[in-house]
Amino acid sequence: MLDAVVFNEAGLIPAIAQDVDSKEILMVAWMNREALQETVDSKRAVYFSRSRQQIWRKGEESGHMQLVKEIRLDCDGDVILMQVEQMGGIACHTGRAHCFYQKLDQDDQWQDSEPVIKPASKIYPNKDK
Amino acid sequence: MLDAVVFNEAGLIPAIAQDVDSKEILMVAWMNREALQETVDSKRAVYFSRSRQQIWRKGEESGHMQLVKEIRLDCDGDVILMQVEQMGGIACHTGRAHCFYQKLDQDDQWQDSEPVIKPASKIYPNKDK
């Protein structure tokens, strides 16, 4: 499985999480070999956090896990696409349903276009403690 | 518009093209500042080809242009998502509707799961001449 996957010079591949029902793009994050293998084995989305430089089991803190229903690879082997069931209906760390909430308007300005379902302070109550 | 966009150390950002009607993910490619600006201005998808190291106006050779209906940016500002109308119904250079045709099966093997609509030799008849 891993042999066909093309990781970049940092050993990472971008992975898209798409909602299996609504088909909305929830988020894009990165996986290393270990994260991809664990995702395949556990059927839960596991990424590699570039900022923390460690394995990131999505939802471990927030409870917003992603149950993986299907995994695809693109023609070049360098992008992963997952169909997922999003626990809690919130994929973004900002408390929105998905991460792509900045929409370009007619004046070429980015506009926040998605409501915050749950404030980040309630998703991560222990963050600054 | 460009100020909010986070390009990587190579000056690039990944851009996802999603079919505005079917919501299928068609492809992922990269944009530099120039490609993104031209995409916004022309409302046609323009990428930066990493292999050729030049601006890549999608469909210039194949006719399979992408008309851009909406552009979004994610929470970190480092991924672009476009809603597009795919000309010719073929996004992939392999002649398939989209690039994510390799699907992981129950034995953890990648299986080609999408038909070739038009062979690449007919899409790019002058490629090796």
Residues of B in contact with A110 (CB under 8 A): 1, 4, 73
Give me the count of residues in chain B: 129
Contacts of B79 (CB under 8 A, 6+ apart): A14, A28, A99, A100, B13, B14, B15, B16, B73
The per-residue pLDDT for B129 is 46
Which residue in B75, B92, B113 is closest to A75 by CB distance?
A: B92
Torsion, Cα of A46, A23, A110, A14 (10° steps): 30
The rounded Cα B44 to chain-centroid distance in angstroms is: 11
The per-residue pLDDT for A128 is 54
Per-residue pLDDT of chain B (129 residues), as tens digits, is: 899 999 999 999 999 999 999 999 999 999 999 999 999 999 999 999 999 999 999 999 999 999 999 999 999 999 999 999 999 999 999 999 999 999 999 999 999 999 999 999 999 987 754
- Is residue A7 scored above 50 in pLDDT? yes
Averaged pLDDT of chain A: 96
pLDDT tens readout for residues A60-92: 999 999 999 999 999 999 999 999 999 999 999
Which residue in A14, A73, A81 is closest to B14 by CB distance?
A: A14
- Is residue A129 scored above 50 in pLDDT? no
Rg of chain A over CA atoms, in angstroms?
A: 15
Find the closest chain B residue to A111 by CA distance.
Answer: B72
The verdict on a CB contact (< 8 Å) between A102 and B73 is yes
The per-residue pLDDT for A9 is 94
Any bridge partners for residue B102, and if so which? A73, B112
Residues of A in contact with B25 (CB under 8 A): 16, 18, 25, 81
Using a CB–CB cut-off of 8 Å, the residues of B that contact A are 1, 4, 14, 16, 18, 23-25, 27-28, 40, 70-77, 79, 81, 92-94, 96, 99-104, 108-110, 113
Find the closest chain A residue to B76 by CA distance.
Answer: A99
Pairing of strands A110-112, A102-104: antiparallel
The per-residue pLDDT for B125 is 86
Whose CA is closest to A8, among A76, A71, A57, A56?
A76
Q: Is there a contact between A66 and A44 (Cβ–Cβ < 8 Å)?
A: yes
The per-residue pLDDT for A126 is 78
Q: Is the ipTM of this complex over 0.90?
A: yes
